[in-house]
């Protein structure tokens, strides 16, 4: 996978799946039950290591991605993060006064268990398996901090950005800086590459995309590279559409992740500028059979002659059949079922 991040074309391409350690796997559900809560699982190195390794043992993916969550940063900032069954994440909504009072002092110490997990993983993984660290992009993390939860169109954060522009810019810059520190620590603990998830980039207008999605990520990348010049960084801006045309250049990232709505003809144009990652519709994994095969084949045909990391266009869903993932892996690698 590192070869591809360096611009090399591999056949078959390296393969991993977003949320590959997750609720579609029975072994994951058993381990999560043992943890007694999602954040407990994220902060218990033994268990977080175990669930990260489970899909590697089962499928032999070319990369393992650290099991954690993008909201460990606001949790470290004492925003009272909790995960409610059936409702998703909840936080204490932040206001202007609380934004100005944010301090990075305890973030590193709070996230030490995550670094221990990264170290354990690098020691446990085969040498040829890439270890990916990650964090949320400032815009996406900020949307949860402003609203106190996920919302369909992130209207609370968009409105806050218009009404309290200076405070919102300060929040994005603050998150960019603590997130860059977090990525550097992951790299130092053993991560071979890192990915920045901007799951809500697609709700932004043109100017807001530049101000909220591009500028803070570039700030992060510059900060990481100033300290770790060889760092390999993937950026995934879900829903960015045509703005992906300049996203790699403007953020200075090594590879860009593509969601399933990106046309393969456009993806092939983007690939001329460097590695792309994606972009199978997760619903094809749920469907299985011919729908899965056709989706895999179309991506390999369109993008297989350039630097490609095969992945989904977003995270695998709990409804996915583990056997369908086996079929996907074999199809990408040209192996008989």
Q: If you average pLDDT over residues 174-201, what whole number do you get? A: 98
Could you tell me if 234 and 5 are in contact, meaning their C-beta atoms sit under 8 angstroms apart? yes
Average pLDDT, the chain: 97
Total-model pTM: 0.97
Q: If you average pLDDT over residues 26-47, what whole number do you get? A: 95
Could you tell me if 68 and 131 are in contact, meaning their C-beta atoms sit under 8 angstroms apart? no
Using alpha carbons, select from 250, 273, 192 the residue that is nearest to residue 16. 192
For 67: left if phi > 0, alpha if psi spans -120 to 50, otherwise beta; the answer is beta
Q: Calculate the CA dihedral of residues 130, 328, 278, 142 and round it to 10 degrees.
A: -80
CA 232 and chain centroid, separation: 14
Task: Give the residues across from 198 on adjacent strands.
Answer: 237
| Banded pLDDT at 241 (limits 50, 70, 90) | very high
Could you tell me if 7 and 307 are in contact, meaning their C-beta atoms sit under 8 angstroms apart? yes
Rounded distance between C-alpha atoms, residue 173 and residue 71, angstroms: 17
CA 133 and chain centroid, separation: 9
| Banded pLDDT at 315 (limits 50, 70, 90) | very high
The pLDDT, as a whole number, for residue 86 is 75
* Two tokens, residue 253: 């990232």
Q: If you average pLDDT over residues 277-297, what whole number do you get? A: 98
Cβ partners under 8 Å of residue 215, min gap 6: 172
Give all strands of the β-sheet with 233-237 in edge-to-edge order.
Answer: 63-65, 130-136, 193-198, 233-237, 255-257, 276-280, 308-312
pLDDT digits (tens, 9 = 90+) for 11-24: 999 999 999 999 99
Q: Does domain 2-333 have CATH number 2.40.270.10?
A: no
Using alpha carbons, select from 280, 276, 176, 187 the residue that is nearest to residue 234. 276
Q: If you average pLDDT over residues 93-105, what whole number do you get? A: 97
Angle at 33 between CA 30 and CA 38, to 5 degrees: 120
Residue 243 clears pLDDT 90, i.e. is over it: yes
Q: If you average pLDDT over residues 214-239, what whole number do you get? A: 98
Rounded distance between C-alpha atoms, residue 70 and residue 138, angstroms: 10
Residue 75 clears pLDDT 80, i.e. is over it: yes
Could you tell me if 51 and 32 are in contact, meaning their C-beta atoms sit under 8 angstroms apart? yes
Cβ partners under 8 Å of residue 23, min gap 6: 29, 32, 318
Rounded distance between C-alpha atoms, residue 23 and residue 319, angstroms: 8
Rounded distance between C-alpha atoms, residue 207 and residue 113, angstroms: 38
Could you tell me if 7 and 275 are in contact, meaning their C-beta atoms sit under 8 angstroms apart? yes
Q: If you average pLDDT over residues 54-72, what whole number do you get? A: 98
Angle at 49 between CA 333 and CA 217, to 5 degrees: 75
* Two tokens, residue 171: 């929040």
| Banded pLDDT at 333 (limits 50, 70, 90) | very high
Residue ranges per structural domain of the chain: 2-333
Could you tell me if 111 and 117 are in contact, meaning their C-beta atoms sit under 8 angstroms apart? no
Could you tell me if 1 and 193 are in contact, meaning their C-beta atoms sit under 8 angstroms apart? yes
> Three-state SS for 237?
strand
Q: Is 12 exposed, middle or buried (0-12, 13-18, 19+ CB in 10 A)?
A: middle
Which residues are part of the catalytic machinery?
Answer: 19, 23, 32, 69, 144
């Amino acid at each position: 996978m590192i070869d591809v991040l360096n611009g090399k074309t591999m056949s078959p391409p390296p393969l991993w799946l977003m949320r590959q350690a997750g609720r579609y796997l029975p072994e994951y559900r058993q381990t999560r039950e043992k943890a007694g809560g999602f954040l407990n699982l994220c902060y218990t190195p033994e268990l977080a290591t175990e669930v990260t390794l489970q899909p590697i043992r089962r499928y032999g993916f070319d990369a393992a991605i650290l099991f954690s969550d993008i909201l460990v940063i606001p949790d470290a900032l004492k925003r009272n993060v909790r995960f409610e069954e059936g409702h998703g994440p909840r936080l204490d909504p932040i206001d202007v006064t609380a934004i100005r009072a944010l301090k990075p002092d305890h973030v590193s110490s709070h996230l030490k268990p995550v670094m221990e997990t990264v170290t354990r993983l690098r020691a446990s993984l085969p040498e040829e398996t890439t270890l990916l660290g990650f964090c949320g992009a400032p815009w996406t993390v900020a949307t949860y901090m402003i609203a106190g939860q996920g919302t369909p169109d992130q209207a609370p954060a968009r409105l806050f950005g218009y009404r309290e522009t200076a405070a919102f810019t300060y929040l994005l810059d603050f998150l960019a800086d603590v997130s860059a520190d977090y990525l550097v620590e992951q790299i130092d603990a053993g991560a071979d590459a890192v990915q920045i998830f901007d799951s809500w980039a697609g709700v932004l207008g043109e100017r807001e995309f530049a101000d909220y999605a591009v500028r803070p990520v570039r700030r992060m990348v510059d900060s990481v590279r100033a300290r770790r010049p060889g760092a390999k960084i993937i950026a995934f801006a879900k829903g960015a559409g045509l703005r992906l045309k300049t996203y790699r250049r403007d953020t200075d990232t090594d590879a860009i992740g593509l969601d399933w709505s990106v046309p393969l003809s456009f993806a092939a144009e983007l690939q001329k500028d460097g590695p792309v990652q994606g972009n199978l519709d997760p619903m094809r994994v749920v469907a299985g059979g011919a729908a899965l095969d056709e989706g895999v084949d179309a991506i390999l045909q369109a993008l297989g002659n350039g630097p490609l990391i095969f992945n989904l266009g977003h995270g695998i869903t709990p409804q996915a059949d583990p056997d369908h993932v086996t079929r996907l892996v074999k199809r990408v690698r040209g192996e008989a079922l």
